[in-house]
């Protein structure tokens, strides 16, 4: 039976092909797509990201040109040599040296051009660290990020998690490592990616240009919650960065009133189950398993960027972290388990953690 829907298929195929070809071009036209796709490589904000996008565009355009020529030739040949009942059998040939030399040399030339620009880009994106670089040690965890800022000439270290803060206009050198499995640091608008591995320190150097909040995430499969290992890169003005750093250097704020829910929460956190895994500077907590919580209340998100940092989400996280992040090393602390925290206790803990500005 003759199908009546068949003619629509090639048209739909052509539509998809055209969309596939046009989408990157449209995406490159402006930053409107940033709202929809905030973790984009199409809006570079460092020289490194620009070099990488240039290389991507070069291969994309060459690929599109080769594709257009190939499909045009194919179409022309199919039309010219289409079946005609009256036509005699075509002349039978074997081998054509000119054609074979041409279709060997031409692709080799294209690959050579790509290779030249690729090697240039490799050297350009792996520069020697500039003398004025801000060094940040980045340690990939399962599944969150630790950021360490050496201060006072390397005497002290400021430790934070999941939100990396940098100034604009100054080169940033990330010293990337892992103490567990492989991870990969990727904030697309800054450039990247680069792996965090256990037996060497990898470097990533870039200079943020514009203040803003840039989204990133781990780009190397690292276990159950790999897809939930996100981060924010916050680029400040130089003064804004210094203010942030100065605040991070302070010990945790004390509850104003010793009878408040914040004070009750402080006692629960610093003397209870949290103390085994977390540090809050200025308290006796010494755990190094989990993120440093000294200024936790200032972070925009929690659980490595997966949800907004608000009272409701924080309570849900404290109550049952593995329910939000499968495989999380933070255990379930509330709900239906022996010796669970009560709902009141969870609210006190939330009040204290949110007070840590
Ligand atoms: Cu990871």
In order of start, what are the domains of the chain with their CATH numbers? 24-80+101-126 (no CATH), 134-249 (2.60.40.420), 261-355 (2.60.40.420)
- What dihedral angle (degrees, nearest 10) is formed by the CA atoms of 291, 293, 295, 301? 60
| End-to-end alpha carbon distance in the chain | 73
Residue 243 structure tokens: 């203010």
Distance, CA 57 to ligand 1 centroid (Å)?
28
Around ion ligand 1, which residues have CB less than 5 A away? 183, 218, 222, 229
- Ranking 5-19, 53-67, 163-177 by mean pLDDT, the lowest is 5-19
Distance, CA 332 to ligand 1 centroid (Å)?
22
Q: What is the pLDDT of residues 116-133, one digit of tens each?
A: 999 999 999 998 999 999
User: Is pLDDT at 30 greater than 80 in this prediction?
Assistant: no
Distance, CA 135 to ligand 1 centroid (Å)?
21
Q: What is the pLDDT of residues 186-237, one digit of tens each?
A: 999 999 899 999 999 999 999 999 999 999 999 999 999 999 999 999 999 9
- Ranking 143-147, 264-268, 285-289 by mean pLDDT, the lowest is 285-289
Instruction: Select the more confidently predicted residue: 150 or 3.
Output: 150
Distance, CA 111 to ligand 1 centroid (Å)?
33
Overall average pLDDT of the 348-353 stretch: 96
Distance, CA 143 to ligand 1 centroid (Å)?
6
> What's the mean per-residue pLDDT of the chain?
91
Does residue 28 contact residue 61 with C-beta atoms inside 8 Å? Answer: no
308 vs 299: CA distance, rounded Å:
9
Distance, CA 222 to ligand 1 centroid (Å)?
5
Overall average pLDDT of the 236-247 stretch: 97
Distance, CA 150 to ligand 1 centroid (Å)?
23
State the pLDDT at residue 5: 43
Overall average pLDDT of the 55-72 stretch: 96
Distance, CA 178 to ligand 1 centroid (Å)?
9
Distance, CA 230 to ligand 1 centroid (Å)?
9
- Ranking 28-37, 155-164, 181-190, 334-343 by mean pLDDT, the lowest is 28-37
State the pLDDT at residue 216: 96
User: Is pLDDT at 152 greater than 60 in this prediction?
Assistant: yes
State the pLDDT at residue 276: 92
Distance, CA 12 to ligand 1 centroid (Å)?
39
Burial of 145 (0-12, 13-18, 19+ CB in 10 A): buried
Distance, CA 353 to ligand 1 centroid (Å)?
25
Overall average pLDDT of the 329-334 stretch: 94
Distance, CA 194 to ligand 1 centroid (Å)?
11
Burial of 125 (0-12, 13-18, 19+ CB in 10 A): buried
Q: Predicted confidence band at 4 (pLDDT cuts at 50, 70, 90)?
A: very low
Distance, CA 233 to ligand 1 centroid (Å)?
16
User: Is pLDDT at 356 greater than 90 in this prediction?
Assistant: yes
State the pLDDT at residue 54: 95
State the pLDDT at residue 26: 56
Does residue 323 contact residue 313 with C-beta atoms inside 8 Å? Answer: no
Task: Please report, for residues 74, 243, 269, 278, the alpha-carbon distance to residue 294 in angstroms, rounded to integers and kept in the order given.
Answer: 65, 16, 12, 9
DSSP 320: B
Distance, CA 205 to ligand 1 centroid (Å)?
20
User: Is pLDDT at 336 greater than 50 in this prediction?
Assistant: yes
User: Is pLDDT at 20 greater than 80 in this prediction?
Assistant: no
State the pLDDT at residue 3: 43
């Amino acid at each position: 039976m003759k199908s009546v829907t068949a003619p629509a298929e090639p048209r739909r195929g052509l539509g998809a092909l055209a969309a596939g070809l046009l989408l990157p071009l449209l995406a490159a036209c402006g930053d409107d797509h940033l709202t929809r796709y905030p973790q984009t490589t199409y809006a570079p904000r460092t020289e490194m990201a620009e070099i990488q996008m240039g290389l991507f565009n070069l291969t994309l355009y060459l690929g599109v040109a080769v594709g257009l020529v190939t499909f045009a030739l194919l179409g022309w040949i199919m039309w010219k040599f289409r079946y005609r009942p009256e036509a005699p059998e075509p002349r039978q040939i074997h081998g054509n040296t000119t054609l074979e030399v041409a279709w060997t040399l031409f692709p080799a030339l294209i690959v050579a051009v790509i290779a030249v620009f690729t090697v240039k880009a490799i050297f350009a994106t792996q520069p020697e660290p500039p003398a004025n670089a801000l060094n940040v040690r980045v340690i990939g965890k399962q599944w969150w990020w630790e950021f360490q800022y050496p201060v006072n000439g390397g005497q002290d270290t400021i430790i934070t998690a999941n939100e990396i803060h940098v100034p604009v206009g100054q080169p940033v050198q990330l010293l990337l490592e892992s103490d567990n499995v492989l991870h990969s640091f990727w904030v697309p608008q800054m450039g990247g990616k680069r792996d965090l591995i256990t037996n060497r320190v990898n470097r990533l150097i870039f200079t943020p240009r514009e203040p803003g909040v840039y989204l990133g995430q781990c780009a190397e499969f690292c276990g159950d919650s790999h897809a939930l290992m996100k981060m924010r890169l916050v680029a400040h003005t130089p003064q804004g960065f210094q203010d942030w750093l100065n605040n991070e250097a302070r010990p945790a704020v004390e509850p104003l009133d010793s009878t408040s829910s914040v004070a009750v929460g402080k006692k629960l956190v610093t003397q209870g189950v949290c103390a085994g895994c977390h540090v809050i500077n200025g308290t006796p907590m010494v755990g190094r398993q989990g993120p440093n919580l000294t200024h936790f209340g200032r972070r925009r998100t929690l659980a490595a960027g997966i949800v907004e940092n608000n009272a409701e989400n924080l309570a849900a996280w404290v109550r049952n972290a593995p329910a939000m992040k499968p495989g999380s090393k933070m255990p379930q602390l509330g709900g239906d388990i022996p010796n669970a925290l009560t709902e009141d206790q969870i609210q006190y803990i939330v009040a204290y953690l949110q007070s840590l500005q």
